[in-house]
Amino acid sequence: DWMNDKYINSKSYEWDIACDGASWNRVHNYEHHTYTNIIGKDRDFGYGLLRLSNDFRWRVKNLWQFVTYLLLSVLFQWGVSYHEMAAERVFFGKKKDDRDYKVPHSELKKRFFSKGARQLVKDYLLFPLLAGPLFLWVFTGNLAANLLRNLWTSTIIFCGHFTGEVETFNQQDCENESQGQWYYRQALGSSNIKGGNLFHVMTGHLSYQIEHHLFPDLPAKRYREIAPKVQAIFKEHGIHYNTGGFFRQYFSVVKRIVRYSFP
């Protein structure tokens, strides 16, 4: 959208995953990027499935949350698609009587099922049928491609948001925060992954999650350019610049998931 091109614009096309674009805009682009890691405001923190800090009381189900994490990774695009409906208790759980949500449940269900059905038909029926005798090859290829994308995407996103050093915030401390305090919260609530050019391209440059959170409207390919300047500012003001190699950051995520599985 930053190009102001009337054809290449997110308002005029739908992306190729199960999650409805409008839902992503509401829950991620607005809620998550505005209220990053504010408990009770940022519903992306743990996705309502994982206990990742002492801000949440421990439940018995947390004992097997590492298995939950693995299942979420395998089905990540569907987890993201269902995320808003789960948070709004559309099908399960106690309804939030004090919450006046702007999107009716009927609309959430309609968009969830229609987008999901289109993806399933396209990937596992239409394209395989177009391949004729290669139906099973295309079907299996699409299944494998979606699985790999789910695993890779979830891993990169978790490494950018849930490493051991990422901090959380309460609503009271963030009331009437200044613009500078907002930037400070973004700095403490994100983490980067070190890597080469190809690695950063493969992550969509979201391996620069700190820069992404500080400047979400900046074209992603510019993150690498500004990263040294951001790091220098952090050092000047004594702010920890949370970065590390892929395996270091990933194991930090795993450690956090396991740690908060217990009381």
Question: What's the average model confidence in pLDDT over 99-122?
Answer: 85
How would DSSP label each residue in the chain?
-TT--SSS-GGG---SSSS-HHHHIIIIIIIIHHSTTBTTT-TTSGGGT---STTS---GGGGGHHHHHHHHHHTHHHHHHHHHHHHTTSSSS---TT---SS-HHHHHHHHHHHHHHHHHIIIIIHHHHTGGGHHHHHHHHHHHHHHHHHHHHHHHHHHH-STT---B-TGGGTT--HHHHHHHHHHT-------HHHHHHTTTTT-HHHHHH-TTS-GGGHHHHHHHHHHHHHHTT-------HHHHHHHHHHHHHHTT--
**pLDDT at position 21:** 85
C-alpha angle with apex 68: 149 to 105, nearest 5 degrees? 80
Residue 235 clears pLDDT 70, i.e. is over it: yes
**pLDDT given for residue 13 in this prediction:** 72
The answer to whether residue 47 scores a pLDDT higher than 60 is: yes
The rounded percent of the chain whose pLDDT value lies above 90 is 70
> Token pair 């950018």 is at which residue?
160
| Model pLDDT, residue 125 | 96
Q: How far is CA 154 from CA 18, 59, 78, in A?
A: 14, 24, 11
Q: What is the pLDDT of residue 5?
A: 77
Which one has a higher pLDDT value, 7 or 249? Answer: 249
Grade residue 92 by pLDDT with cuts at 50, 70 and 90: low
**Predicted pLDDT at 1:** 60
Q: What is the pLDDT of residue 26?
A: 87
Tens-digit pLDDT profile for residues 2-25: 667 777 776 667 788 998 888 888
Q: What is the pLDDT of residue 61?
A: 94
Q: What is the mean pLDDT of residues 45-63?
A: 94
Q: Of 11, 47, 17, 14, which is closest to residue 32 (Cα–Cα)?
A: 47
Rounded CA-CA distance 159/208 in Å is 10
The stretch 173-198 carries a mean pLDDT of 94
Q: How many CB atoms lie within 10 A of CB 121?
A: 12
**Whether pLDDT at 242 is above 80:** yes
Reported as a pLDDT band with limits 50, 70 and 90, residue 204 is: very high
Whether 94 shows a pLDDT value over 70: the answer reads no
Least confident of 18-22, 183-187, 253-257: 18-22
What pLDDT is recorded for position 97? Answer: 53
pLDDT of 154 reads: 97
How high is the mean pLDDT of the chain?
A: 91
Q: What is the pLDDT of residue 54?
A: 95
Q: Report the percent of the chain where pLDDT is more than 70.
A: 92
